[in-house]
Amino acid sequence: MSSDLVTYESNDGIGIITINRADKMNALSNGVVAELRDAFISLNASDDRCAILTGAGEKAFSVGADLKDPPRDPELWECMPGVGVDVDKPLIAAISGYCVGGAYCLVQFCDIAVADESADFFYPEAQIGFCGGLIAGLASRIPHKIAMEFMLSGKHFSAQRAYEACMVNRVTPVGQLMDGAMEYAEIFRDSSPMVMGALKRFVRNEVMTRGPSEQAGLARRDLLAISRSEDQKEGGKAFREKRKPVFKGQ
């Protein structure tokens, strides 16, 4: 990765991905989104069996998109696991402090979520007149009425309310967040990667209802792969040189 906006640590078969921008409450800038995407690609290529996704510092997992440096290239969807990057290894979100807007989308697309008692979830898009749409899939993940309350009202959900609403799997005391996340990670590390990967694909591709922005992101992902490919460069070069292109599927 190009800088330390996102760090990746491998710990005995468990990856720890940290949004490392505590001075900005881990806001999702253009650079953070790019490095998160790269971190998930690194996880796929690594020997780690699973990963914990968390934020640096105690104030925030992340306050969502950085309004002063909003993610445009890459766009926010490109760092979402299962949308920008398919990840067949289990992902555990570990949330402390604020988890706002697009940051909750990151949690939504993880498989397991652990929050400590300081966690504060809210989704204020309707109150500020902005919408990226990735949150819509929440209604297929938790009870409909609760999803609509969270998406439309901008109300703050405490860690306990999030647990009761099935938005997180477990709530820990402050200071014990990573211990709680690591309990899941150690189980996944010692479990069959083939079985876990197959079940994740079944759920992601066949069971879970995808929102329109997720579907658009998946289509855009495939098209961007072509436009950023060596084959497209070769096609253009061959056309200019009036010769037959030599494509490599890369």
- Please answer whether residues 17 and 52 qualify as being in contact, where contact means their C-beta atoms are separated by less than 8 angstroms: yes
pTM of the model: 0.91
Q: Can you name the residues that pair with 99 across neighbouring β-strands?
A: 62, 121
C-alpha–C-alpha distance, residues 73 and 70, integer Å:
9
Which of 109, 88, 93 is CA-nearest to residue 200? 88
For 26-71, how does the pLDDT look when each residue is reduced to its tens digit (9 = 90+)? 999 999 999 999 999 999 999 999 999 999 998 999 999 998 888 8
pLDDT digits (tens, 9 = 90+) for 160-191: 999 999 999 999 999 999 999 999 999 999 99
Q: Hey, where are the domains in the chain?
A: 6-192
Per-residue pLDDT for 244 more than 80?
yes
Q: Two tokens at 232?
A: 């497209």
CA distance 137 to 134: 7
Q: Which of 169-178, 197-206, 219-228 has the lowest mean pLDDT?
A: 219-228
Q: Does domain 6-192 have CATH number 3.40.190.10?
A: no
What is the pLDDT, as a whole number, of residue 1?
Answer: 42
Element (H, E) at 196: helix 193-202
Give the span between the Cα atoms of 174 and 141, in whole angstroms.
Answer: 26
